[in-house]
Amino acid sequence: MDVALIDSGGTNIGSVRYALERLGASAHLTSDPEAIRRADRVILPGVGAAAPGMARLRELGLVDVVRSLRQPLLGVCLGMQLLFESSEEGDVECLGVLPGRVRRIPNAPGIRVPHMGWNALQPRGDDPLLAGIDAGEQAYFVHSYAAPVTSDTLVTSTHGIEFAAVVRRGNRHGAQFHPERSASVGARLLENFLSGVAA
């Protein structure tokens, strides 16, 4: 299994790579369009803000590459948010392969922003990406902005508001939480992405 990790500049890239290698996948960090197009699976990691994340993809000439991928693609954290049409964070146009606008988690009594820590997952139906992940299991989140709950949402979580924690539209998948930091739940999601979803 050849997995391309898009060099999006996120600080979590190394830990995502190690998590994949523990599952037996050969993961290589690349910004080369042809290497990305040839890969069996593509992961768009990301930590930081939407505007610099999109600027990095534009600078590398990868916006149209990511939009046109036919193999399974997984966006992680900011990488998932960049799959949507736009983000309030920097008021930026994103990749637009999923409909919706990413918005800031509103401040509320007892609600800390950024949302940082373990939180329960609530699956909304069956999907190969979710095999072995049960309602109420916990995953590790770090984010201040959240994607809307739409017909593409596979899993929700709640921090003041309900938001999309895992999404899928066709070959495009996303996880708002950090699978590489989410113990067995994160490992299952990555393993399902590698071997359970249709190529």
> Which position among 115, 159, 173, 178 bears the catalytic label?
178
> Which position among 89, 137, 180, 191 bears the catalytic label?
180
Task: Please indicate whether residue 178 is annotated as part of the active site.
Answer: yes
Task: Please indicate whether residue 77 is annotated as part of the active site.
Answer: yes
> Which position among 77, 115, 143, 191 bears the catalytic label?
77
List residues bridging with 146 in a β-sheet.
Answer: 103
| CA–CA dist 100, 96 (Å, integer) | 8
Tokens 């523990």 sit on residue:
22
Locate 109 and state its tokens.
């009594």
| CA–CA dist 153, 173 (Å, integer) | 10
Task: Please indicate whether residue 34 is annotated as part of the active site.
Answer: no
- The secondary structure of residue 147, as a DSSP letter, is P
| CA–CA dist 83, 66 (Å, integer) | 9
Other CB atoms within 10 Å distance of the CB of residue 145? 22
Instruction: Tell me which residues are annotated as active site.
Output: 77, 178, 180
